[in-house]
């Protein structure tokens, strides 16, 4: 067996410098914790819905490859989102795979990718892994809005092949100005992706301007809706873009169980609509409660999470104290200067939200 030093030498010789300089995306151990860190829907399915789903699964032929085009699932998604007939869909194993396909497609020498930051970390993570230069433009510090003079300058200077705009944004939770979104579409030299992962909780979408802006791709996922375990994302856009991206999509990337389960679940859309309405009501109550606590400031949110700033106490101490009490939130203290001393909490059930607030109150009062 090769020594450790020999193995490290071989790795350094064969792997790309970009990969060697990266850090793996870390998913914390959540066993035994109340998970309020990953923007998941906290509600299970009704028992009768689970029974009906299991009946569907019994009919799955897992000895056969899945439908490569996932035609029935695509049709269901078209109906749910009201996708126009002149647009096409590309399905991915979560939004992460779709981001990977997009960036693989534009990974020419000198290509750049741009996003306002702080943003979803996978934009940069995947760009770095492919050796594509990632250009970040900080959001405004007062309201996390787009800094349009800086955005215009960066677009003009770097001519990005792809611009990612999370709408609402993660981790800040806000919706960017619709007029700013349209201005970026007008001046962008390449693809603009409206990442609408949190669409179930926001009363806004760029889906209905795609006829005017053919280089706009809308990216969505069923994860936040309540189907995170299925790993299903989808791109909506002009067929010319989708046809090219489909060339590098791995065959059978959406497995049979995901196709059957997602199609079944989306046929019960009213269940998820009801859950989303509850989450939105609880989100507003959570924001109000956080802002009544001393040392806390919660920011407005159009997603299923709330970003809040803590004053007068190191936020890492708050994070660890919550974790000691079996409550896991997201510590954003070192992720970006604009989220210094900030935590992000997913909207849970009413009971989970109360437990989180009670524990946070005790921590802040010490």
Token couple for 29: 């151990």
**pLDDT of residue 228 exceeding 90:** yes
Query: How much is the pLDDT for 366?
Result: 62
Q: Please, which residues have CB within 8 angstroms of residue 314's CB and are 6 or more apart in sequence? A: 341
Ranges of each domain in the chain: 24-46+270-365, 60-267
Q: What is the pLDDT of residues 53-101, one digit of tens each?
A: 999 999 999 999 999 999 999 999 999 999 999 999 999 999 999 999 9
Torsion of CA 68, 69, 72, 76, to 10 degrees: 130
Q: What is the DSSP letter of 295?
A: T
- C-alpha closest to that of 301 among 326, 282, 273: 282
Identify the residue whose tokens are 């189907």. Answer: 227
Cβ-based neighbour number of residue 37 at 10 Å:
22
Query: How much is the pLDDT for 19?
Result: 80
DSSP element (H, E) containing 309: strand 305-310
User: CA-CA distance, 69 to 337, in Å (whole number)?
Assistant: 43
* Band of residue 9 on the pLDDT scale cut at 50, 70, 90: confident
Q: What is the DSSP letter of 266?
A: H
Domain 24-46+270-365 coded CATH 1.10.3720.10: no
User: CA-CA distance, 66 to 43, in Å (whole number)?
Assistant: 29
Cβ-based neighbour number of residue 25 at 10 Å:
10
Say how many Å lie between the first and final Cα of the chain, rounded: 55
Q: What is the mean pLDDT of residues 227-247?
A: 97
Q: Please, which residues have CB within 8 angstroms of residue 269's CB and are 6 or more apart in sequence? A: 80
Query: How much is the pLDDT for 321?
Result: 97
User: Average pLDDT over the chain, rounded to whole?
Assistant: 94
Buried b (16+ CB within 10 A) or exposed e, 99-126: bbbbbebbeeeebbbbbbbbbbebbbbb
Domain 60-267 coded CATH 3.40.640.10: yes
Token couple for 249: 């999509």
Q: What is the pLDDT of residues 306-327, one digit of tens each?
A: 999 999 899 999 999 999 999 9
Query: How much is the pLDDT for 5?
Result: 80
% of the chain residues with pLDDT over 90: 89
Q: What is the pLDDT of residues 13-51, one digit of tens each?
A: 788 887 887 777 777 767 779 999 999 999 999 999 999
Q: What is the mean pLDDT of residues 330-356?
A: 97
* Band of residue 2 on the pLDDT scale cut at 50, 70, 90: low
Q: What is the DSSP letter of 283?
A: H
Cβ atoms of residues 332 and 118 within 8 Å? yes
For 184, phi then psi, to 5°, come to -65, -40
Cα separations (Å) of 298 from 61, 301, 339, 344?
48, 9, 12, 9
User: CA-CA distance, 52 to 66, in Å (whole number)?
Assistant: 21
Cβ atoms of residues 193 and 102 within 8 Å? yes
Q: What is the mean pLDDT of residues 245-253?
A: 96
SS3 124: helix
């Amino acid at each position: 067996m090769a020594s450790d030093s020999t193995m490290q030498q071989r790795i350094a010789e064969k792997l790309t410098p970009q990969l060697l300089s990266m850090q793996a995306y870390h998913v914390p151990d959540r066993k035994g914790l109340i998970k309020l860190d990953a923007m998941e829907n906290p509600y299970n399915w009704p028992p009768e819905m689970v029974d009906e789903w299991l009946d569907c699964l019994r009919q799955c032929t897992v000895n056969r490859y899945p439908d490569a085009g996932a035609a029935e699932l695509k049709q269901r998604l078209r109906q749910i989102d009201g996708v126009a007939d002149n647009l096409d869909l590309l399905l991915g194993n979560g939004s992460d795979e779709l981001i990977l396909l997009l960036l693989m497609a534009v990974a020419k020498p000198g290509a750049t990718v741009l996003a306002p930051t702080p943003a979803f970390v996978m934009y940069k993570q995947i760009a770095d892994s492919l050796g594509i230069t990632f250009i970040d433009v900080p959001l405004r510090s007062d309201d996390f809005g787009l800094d349009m003079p800086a955005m215009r300058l960066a677009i003009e200077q770097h001519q990005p092949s792809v611009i990612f705009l999370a709408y609402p944004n993660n981790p800040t939770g806000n919706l960017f100005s619709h007029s700013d979104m349209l201005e970026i579409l007008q001046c962008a030299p390449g693809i603009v992706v409206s990442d609408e992962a949190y669409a179930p909780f926001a009363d806004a979408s760029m889906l209905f301007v795609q006829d005017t802006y053919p280089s706009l791709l809308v990216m969505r996922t069923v994860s936040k809706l309540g189907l995170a375990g299925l790993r299903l994302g989808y791109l909506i856009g002009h067929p010319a873009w989708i046809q090219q991206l489909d060339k590098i999509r791995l065959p059978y990337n959406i497995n049979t169980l995901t196709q059957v389960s997602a199609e079944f679940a989306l046929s019960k859309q009213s269940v998820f609509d009801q859950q989303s309405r509850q989450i939105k009501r609880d989100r507003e109550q959570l924001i109000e409660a956080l802002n009544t606590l001393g040392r806390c400031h919660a920011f407005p949110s159009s997603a299923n999470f709330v970003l809040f700033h803590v004053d007068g106490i190191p936020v890492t101490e708050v994070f660890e104290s919550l974790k000691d009490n079996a409550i896991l939130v997201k510590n954003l203290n070192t992720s970006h200067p604009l989220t210094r001393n900030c935590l992000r909490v997913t909207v849970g059930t009413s009971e989970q939200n109360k437990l989180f607030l009670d524990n946070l109150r005790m921590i802040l009062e010490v």
